[in-house]
């Protein structure tokens, strides 16, 4: 039986590439990965040589992804997040010595991972993340789970839940998209209805939609609006960062994109909606000190 060989770049190169792409700077990637900027540069140069294509455009001290880089980054970011989540899920720490958190891939990637080190230090014990899809929302029945992140009110008393972030959204787009459509964007929300709008196609579980955002601005969304659908919010943001159109950006989820300059906010302010993301303790966890400690962390760091 012939073994199937897989051709993938080195893990070190992929980690360097993902960090540099997400941060928008090789120096920030070096700080994050505890290495030198020259090492990051060597990894990425080697990756570009191996792939036979450039991945970044280097301008004024910043490193912006080009089209090939955007495409690779989408897959690498999700792949690394999936590997990390799986590694945490199969960790061999006994159940009574770890905290098990259930959330979607999007919340894991965009909310938990940037805060994971701080949360882990606060907990003082291993944290394990289990990801699920909202269409299979039966995680409360899993006896291993201590905390669930959900947009839905799960009926828990206030002392057993905390607001991770209040729902506040603002349209975002790539700097290149903002430049091309500068005249239209200056005209305000009424004119934005003619621009491509990126939206989620999965079953809505309580989050704001473009219809909600336009209504909050005293407008209706045209029936023939140009929209592009995605079933994953990370893919949606990556499409926006690649210049695909306007996206609704959630405060608490888009900061890394804004900090890296991959997305820019359109408009003057966030629109507030009464649909927070909640961290909820399961019945098993309500008397566990590690669970209470982590719930307090979420509450005190609410966005």
How confident is residue 88, by pLDDT bands cut at 50, 70 and 90?
Answer: low
Quick one: DSSP state of residue 139?
Answer: G
Quote the CATH superfamily of domain 98-165+276-300.
Answer: Periplasmic binding protein-like II (3.40.190.10)
Question: Quick check: 152 pLDDT over 80?
Answer: no
Class at the top of the CATH hierarchy for domain 11-77: mainly alpha
Cα–Cα distance between 265 and 173 in angstroms, integer?
7
Q: Which residue, chain included where needed, has tokens 């020259």?
A: 38
How confident is residue 96, by pLDDT bands cut at 50, 70 and 90?
Answer: low
Sorted by where each begins, the domain ranges of the chain are 11-77, 98-165+276-300, 168-272
Q: What is the CA radius of gyration of the chain?
A: 21
Strand boundaries in 132-284, DSSP class E? 147-150, 161-165, 168-173, 197-200, 227-230, 247-250, 264-265, 271-272, 277-281
| 219-248 pLDDT tens trace | 988 777 778 888 889 889 989 998 999 999
Looking at the chain, the whole-number percentage of residues with pLDDT higher than 70 is 89
Range name among 16-25, 137-146, 167-176, 187-196 with the lowest pLDDT average: 137-146
pTM of the model: 0.72
| 5-64 pLDDT tens trace | 677 888 888 888 988 888 788 888 888 888 888 889 999 999 999 899 999 887 766 778
Which one has a higher pLDDT value, 168 or 91? 168
- Domains 11-77 and 168-272 are alike in CATH topology: no
Which one has a higher pLDDT value, 284 or 55? 55
Average confidence (pLDDT) over 254-280: 90
CATH 3.40.190.10 matches 168-272: yes
Which one has a higher pLDDT value, 179 or 32? 179
What pLDDT is stored for residue 247 in this prediction? 96
Q: How far is CA 121 from CA 81, 97, 116, in A?
A: 20, 14, 9
CB atoms within 10 A of CB 167: 21
What pLDDT is stored for residue 170 in this prediction? 96
Strand partners, 250: 169
């Amino acid at each position: 039986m012939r073994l199937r060989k897989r051709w993938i770049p080195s893990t070190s190169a992929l980690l360097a590439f993902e960090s540099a792409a997400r941060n928008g700077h090789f120096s920030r990637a070096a700080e994050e990965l505890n290495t030198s900027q020259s090492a990051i540069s060597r990894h990425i140069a080697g990756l570009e040589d191996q792939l036979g294509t450039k991945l970044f455009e280097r301008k004024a001290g910043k490193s912006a992804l080009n089209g090939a880089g955007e495409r690779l980054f989408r897959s690498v970011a999700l792949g690394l997040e999936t590997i990390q989540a799986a590694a945490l899920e199969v960790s061999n720490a006994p159940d009574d010595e770890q905290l098990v958190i259930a959330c979607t891939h999007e919340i894991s990637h965009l909310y938990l991972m940037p805060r994971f080190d701080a949360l882990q230090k606060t907990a003082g014990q291993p944290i394990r993340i289990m990801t699920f899809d909202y269409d299979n929302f039966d995680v409360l029945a899993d006896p291993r789970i201590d905390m669930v992140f959900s947009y839905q009110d799960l009926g828990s008393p206030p002392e057993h839940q905390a607001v991770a972030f209040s729902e506040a959204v603002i349209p975002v787009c790539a700097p290149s998209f903002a430049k091309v459509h500068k005249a239209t964007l200056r005209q305000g929300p009424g004119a934005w209805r003619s621009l491509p709008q990126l939206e989620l196609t999965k079953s809505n579980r309580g989050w704001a939609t473009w219809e909600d955002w336009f209504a909050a601005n005293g407008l209706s969304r045209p029936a023939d609006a140009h929209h592009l659908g995605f079933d994953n919010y990370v893919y949606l943001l990556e499409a926006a960062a690649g210049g695909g159109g306007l996206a609704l950006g959630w405060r608490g989820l888009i900061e890394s994109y804004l900090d890296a300059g991959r997305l820019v906010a359109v408009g003057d302010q966030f629109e507030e909606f009464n649909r927070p993301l909640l961290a909820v303790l399961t019945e098993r966890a309500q008397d566990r000190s590690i669970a209470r400690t982590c719930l307090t962390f979420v509450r005190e760091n609410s966005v």
